[in-house]
Amino acid sequence: MTVETMTPKQRFLAALNGEALDRPCAASITSVVNFELMDIVGSHFPEANTDPEPMAELAASAHDVMGFDSVMPIFGIAQEATALGCVVDFSDPGNLPTPQYAPWADREAEIRLPDGFPDSFLEDKYVKCALDAIRLLK
């Protein structure tokens, strides 16, 4: 069976659904970001974790530079961690953002979701940044 040429988005979604493809889908559901891609597109950490435009540019490099059929603008766990109340260090350009403190770090502490959860999750500035980057990538 011959399949018409697909766009990367069509190919990725068809692969997820187990449908016929025009060629194998090259995709990663996690980040493929590395220093070489940062240099090629001119978007580096920490800005690519805290500003939607560099985040989108760096995410798009998976497709534009490497030929992947997917992009992933979230490069680690920082957005979820901050939204759940962790303190995250975004300052090191040579590393992914690193959680420094979690409210439930004390094993005796009761694990509680932040006030207003789940709405507060979407209001976190780093989650908003990722959502804005996704809008730019569409």
pLDDT in the model for residue 1: 66
User: Cα torsion at 16, 17, 18, 21 (round to 10°)?
Assistant: -80
Domain layout of the chain by residue ranges: 8-137
pTM of this structure: 0.85
Between CA 89 and CA 84 the distance in angstroms is 15
> Could you tell me the pLDDT band of residue 29, with boundaries at 50, 70 and 90?
confident
CB-facing half-sphere around the CA of 132: CA atoms within 13 A: 16
> Could you tell me the pLDDT band of residue 114, with boundaries at 50, 70 and 90?
confident
Q: The CATH number of 8-137 is which of 3.60.40.10, 3.40.630.10, 3.40.50.2300, 3.20.20.210? A: 3.20.20.210
> Could you tell me the pLDDT band of residue 119, with boundaries at 50, 70 and 90?
confident
